[in-house]
Chains A and B, each alone.
Chain A
Amino acid sequence: MADKVLMKGNEALAEAALRAGCEAFFGYPITPQTELAAYMAKRMPKEGGVYLQAESEIGAINMVYGAAGAGARCMTSTSSPGMSLKSEGISYIAGADLPAVIVNVMRGGPGLGGIQPSQADYWQATRATGHGDFHPIVLAPSTVQEMASSIHEAFELADEYRTPVIVLIDGMLGQMMEPVELPEKKETKKDKPWAVTGHGGKRAQNVINSLNLDTPGLERMNFERFERYEKIKENEQQAETYMTEDADIIIVAFGACARVSRTAVDKAREAGIKVGLIRPITLVPFTSDAIEEVVDQAKAFLTVEMNMGQMVEDVCLVVAGRAPVEFFGHTGGIIPTPNEVLEQVEKLNAEKGGDA
Chain B
Amino acid sequence: MAQTVFERPKSLSDKPFTYCPGCTHGIAHRLIAETLDELDLADRAIGIAPVGCSVLAYEFFNTDMLQAAHGRAPAVATAVKRVHPDAIVFTYQGDGDLASIGTAETVHAATRGENIVVIFINNAIYGMTGGQMAPTSLPGQITQTSPTGRDVETQGYPIRMVEMLSTLDGVALAQRVSLDTPKHVREAKRAIKKAFQNQIDGKGYSIIEVMSTCPTNWGLSGPGAIEWLQENLLPYYPLGVYKDVSTNGDTVVESEV
Contact = CB atoms under 8 A, between A and B. Distances in A.
Interface stretch (A109-117, A198-206, A264-272): A198-206
A207 interface: yes
A62 B68 contact: yes
Contact of B72 (A50, A62, A67, A209): A62
A69 B66 contact: yes
B132 interface: no
Contacts of A50: 79, 82-83
B142 interface: no
A326 interface: no
A63 interface: yes
A60 B76 CA distance: 9
A33 B68 CA distance: 27
A198 B64 contact: yes
Interface stretch (B41-49, B175-183, B196-204, B206-214): B41-49
Interface in A48-71: 50, 52, 54-56, 58-60, 62-67, 69-71
B44 A200 contact: yes
Contacts of B75: 54-55, 58-60, 62-63, 65-66
Most buried by B among A55, A58, A89, A198: A198
Contacts, number: 134
Contacts of A210: 67
Interface string A227-248: 0000000000000000000000
B79 A70 contact: yes
B118 interface: no
Interface in B37-75: 42-46, 48, 55-56, 58, 61-69, 72, 75
B160 interface: no
B104 interface: yes
B29 to A, nearest CB: 15
Interface residues of A, number: 39
Nearest to B45: A198
B55 A70 contact: no
Nearest to B44: A198
A70 B83 contact: yes
B119 interface: no
Interface in B97-137: 104-105, 107-108
A211 interface: yes
A62 B71 CA distance: 10
B43 A66 contact: no
Interface of A: 23-24, 26, 50, 52, 54-56, 58-60, 62-67, 69-72, 74, 88-89, 92, 96, 196-201, 205-211
